Chains A and B, each alone.
Chain A
Amino acid sequence: MEQSDLRNWESKCIQEETPQCVAACPLHVDARTFCSLMGQRRVDKAWQVLAKTMPLPGVLARLCDAPCKAACVRKDVGGAIEMGILERYCAENAKPVAPPRPLPSRGKSVAVLGGSMTGLCAAWEFGRRGFDVSLYCHSLGAGLDDLPHGVLERELESLRKMGVDLEESTSITAELLTSLLEEKDAVFIDSEDVPDSLLDFGEPDELTLGTRRAGVFASRTGESSSILQAAAGRRAANSIERFTQGVSMVSGRDLEGPYETRLYTNITKVEPAEPMQGEPTEVTVRDEAKRCLQCECMECVKGCEYLRHYKYYPKVYARQIYNNESIVMGTRQANKMINSCMLCGLCEAVCPEDFSVGDMCLEARNTMVEQGNMPQSAHEFALRDMGFANGEKCVLGRHAPGLTTSEYLFFPGCQLTASDPDGVTAAYADLRGRLGNVGLLLHCCGAPAEWSARRAAADEVIASIKAEWERLGSPRIIVACPTCLKSLRKGLPEAEIVSQWTLLGALGLPNGTAVDAGRLAINDPCATRHDAMAQAEVRKLLGDLHVAVAEPDYTCETTQCCGFGGLLSEANPDLGHKVAELRADSMEEDWVTYCVMCRDMIARTGKRAMHLYDLLYPRLDDPAARPAPGYSARRENRVRLKEELLRSVWNEEQDVSGELFESIEVAFTDEAATAMEKRRILKSDIQKVLLQARESGRWLVNAESGHLLASFRPVVVTYWVEFEEQGDGYLVHNTWCHRMRIKGGQP
């Protein structure tokens, strides 16, 4: 990630943008924080927030006409926050605060002519910025007569404390102006409180309040709003500061007055609440402040447990990824965060600015792989599994039996074959029965390589599929798995590819479909997020199957990932499980989905879930209760499916002479089976350890339990197996593994 990329990513996330009220306030008072504190009855603290930004806070807070109300997001759900009432209550009840301590003197002097609100506020702004300020006027606080007794006096005292020289009873004349211009670095004229004869320099410039006369700045006449008068004072101070520094008078001033902000706050789930009525009391004021929505975006974080888990939002994650890549020596803290994104696209779908955390994380993974910084353990197991699915034990490419051409090619994908081989067999029989010359290709689509940013490996997989597809005469491909559909459409743009659900929509339901499935919650797989047609087709099929479909909050384009996407459950199993659990528990009903990984991820949480195959090709009494097969079983299912199809469909007996370790008879206690799944240890890994132990005669023995313990490192992981001999085979009690290598010849 280059620095310019970082800037682009950061600017796309609007979470840190200014709230509407603050942007609309001419002085940019932090009304959001103010309301938060008022809502907690922390009135003194809230007053500090006002006093930090407002000149003459005791006066201004009482006079503010709250232009923020027109921008308040709450206005559409009950009514805008009564900010004016809150400000006045706060001014009346909070402990007064000392005036701001002026910056060190900058050795520049400025005169203010006129002492109404604008002139006083300008003097305040000059004073706090370290100008030498003198204010000349006929009488201080012209037009501020209605304030409660003592309020104005207190703020005038503050001005004096800030070092402002207040010259009352002065007659404001052209001569005075001329002499001040000679004496001072600049003069500001409060146009409301000087004789009209003085205003002979035309209308002051809107942006700078500068006039035709060099060094003379003036407020524009006719402004009756106190907060806008105060803003004019601040604008003049900004201009004169630039003027005395000799820098540009105009550049970078877009955000000085009220401006448009990009911050988005979703109010669709906000309950309407009416503004307070009657006299303000401690309680009514608190409740009014509590109506403040504390505007923020967080649209993506609300729907994604991964984004929530890492505690921030995409703008911060972009910075963390950038920093992660910049580390030369030291620990890369963000690796796991980068590898935990499901790449599911929900954030982009809900973000008002289309921020795709998935694109950002996949790009970061790519950089990690290129630079050799990808943690070995993150995706290795999944890539090994992909290699197995694409090995000769599992891959099968055939025309239908007795045929030499294929009009269609059925591509069920490596996870359906792993989870539900009988479903695949039934689906293939159905397609062959109704369409005739349908070939078969058992192969993985390369998604694990794509997700782990192993682009060369992903290309290799696609090349292998392409070769098989061409060998079979480039038939139309029928794809069952949504992820495969996405991968193949991207990798084989020249192929005609159709989803099995679309096809079934056209063909009609197969014979013998399930009846009375009742009401089911639908889970759209994340790969179908932008495929509204597929979503509609599946709902149509479910309708034909008499299923009443319950839609979760996050559905169709905003569907949530099951925790498998992007290999989350590999790189961060605990978070993967939590994501699956949240999704599973978000609906009362049993789930139905059309991605078998979604089904298995949900089933692993203990929630009942079905794949569409369970309804289309029913084989079990209670398919929603079918446990998700473990890692070893998934491999065996793929192998057995190929053997079984060859035998039953093509009448071919395979030469089943396997590898030597496969001849080891092995059984597992429940504890061992749990440890295997948790630690991603395969039956084949254990068989290799046992074979090696048997051949070398090297193991440990436990005097107490009689258990034996042996280790073996087939490639990069050392496996330990605690076992006992049982007949001709072994019973495994426990197993664990590590990646560190023991030096010194241990096998």
Chain B
Amino acid sequence: MSLIKVPESDVAGWKCAACNEEMVSRPVELEYLDSLFNVELPACPKCGYVLIPETLANGKMHQVEQLLEDK
């Protein structure tokens, strides 16, 4: 999961509506089936709202989920 990188183009333009803040890359913890991952993901610097772009959810993240399910 440390290989997960969200390309800038997937984040471009999104900002937190409530805080009016641009997304910044920050460490986020993801959890699945008792496995914990520390990943740099775009999030609101103020409230911490994390963005999981479509490409990540259907790409690398899906692969890792499948792998963990087969462990």
User: Residues on A close to B: CB < 8 A?
Assistant: 330-333, 335-336, 375-378, 679, 697-705, 708-709, 711, 718, 720, 734, 736-746
Contact = CB atoms under 8 A, between A and B. Distances in A.
A335 B50 contact: no
Contacts, number: 96
A330 B57 CA distance: 24
Interface string B45-62: 001111110100110011
Contact of B70 (A375, A701, A702): A375
B18 A698 contact: yes
B11 to A, nearest CB: 10
A701 B14 contact: yes
Given A708-B17, A718-B52, A738-B57, A698 B47 contact: yes
Contact of A704 (B13, B47, B62): B13
A705 to B, nearest CB: 7
Nearest to B29: A743
A708 B18 CA distance: 12
B35 to A, nearest CB: 9
29 contacts: A332-B71, A336-B70, A375-B69, A376-B69, A377-B65, A377-B69, A697-B18, A700-B17, A700-B23, A700-B51, A702-B13, A704-B12, A708-B17, A711-B52, A720-B54, A734-B54, A736-B57, A737-B57, A738-B61, A738-B62, A738-B65, A739-B65, A740-B61, A740-B64, A741-B30, A741-B31, A743-B30, A745-B48, A746-B50
Interface of B: 12-18, 23, 28-33, 36-37, 47-52, 54, 57-58, 61-62, 64-67, 69-71
Given A377-B69, A738-B57, A740-B37, 17 more contacts: A331-B70, A333-B70, A697-B17, A698-B16, A698-B49, A699-B18, A700-B16, A700-B23, A702-B14, A703-B15, A704-B13, A720-B52, A736-B54, A738-B65, A740-B30, A744-B48, A745-B48
Contacts of A741: 30-32
A740 B31 contact: yes
Contacts of A331: 67, 70-71
B70 to A, nearest CB: 5
Contacts of A708: 17
Contacts of A703: 13-15
B54 A744 contact: no
Given A375-B70, A734-B54, A737-B57, A742 B28 contact: yes
B62 to A, nearest CB: 7
Contacts of A679: 58
Contacts of B17: 697-701, 708
A573 B66 CA distance: 14
A711 B70 CA distance: 27
A574 to B, nearest CB: 13
Contact of A700 (B14, B54, B64, B70): B14
B29 A744 contact: yes
Contacts of A709: 14, 51
A661 B6 CA distance: 32
A538 to B, nearest CB: 40
Binding site of B, secondary structure by majority: helix, strand, loop or mixed?
mixed
A416 B30 CA distance: 40
A697 B47 CA distance: 12
B71 A740 contact: no
B52 A742 contact: yes
Contacts of B15: 700-701, 703
A335 B14 CA distance: 38
Contact of A738 (B13, B14, B36, B52): B52
Contacts of B23: 700
A560 B29 CA distance: 46
Chain B CB within 10 A, most for which of A331, A335, A708: A331
Contacts of A333: 70
Nearest to B47: A698
Contacts of B13: 702-705
Contacts of A746: 48-50
Nearest to B38: A743
A402 B30 CA distance: 58
B19 to A, nearest CB: 9
A736 B61 CA distance: 12
B54 A335 contact: no
Lowest 10 CB-CB distances: which A-B pairs, in order?
A: A375-B69, A743-B29, A738-B57, A701-B17, A704-B13, A740-B32, A702-B13, A736-B54, A740-B30, A700-B14
A740 B65 contact: yes
A738 B4 CA distance: 15
Nearest to A377: B69
Contacts of B30: 740-743
Nearest to B65: A739
Contacts of B33: 376
B68 to A, nearest CB: 9
A254 B50 CA distance: 70
A47 to B, nearest CB: 47
Nearest to B49: A698
A740 B37 CA distance: 10
A702 B48 CA distance: 17
B32 A335 contact: no
A746 to B, nearest CB: 6
Contact of A330 (B12, B65, B71): B71
Given A698-B18, A699-B17, A708-B17, A742 B50 contact: yes
Chain B CB within 10 A, most for which of A378, A705, A709: A709
A330 B70 CA distance: 8
A549 to B, nearest CB: 43
Contacts of A720: 52, 54, 57
Contacts of A700: 14-17, 23, 49, 51
A741 B64 CA distance: 13
B47 to A, nearest CB: 7
A742 B29 CA distance: 6
A330 B15 CA distance: 40
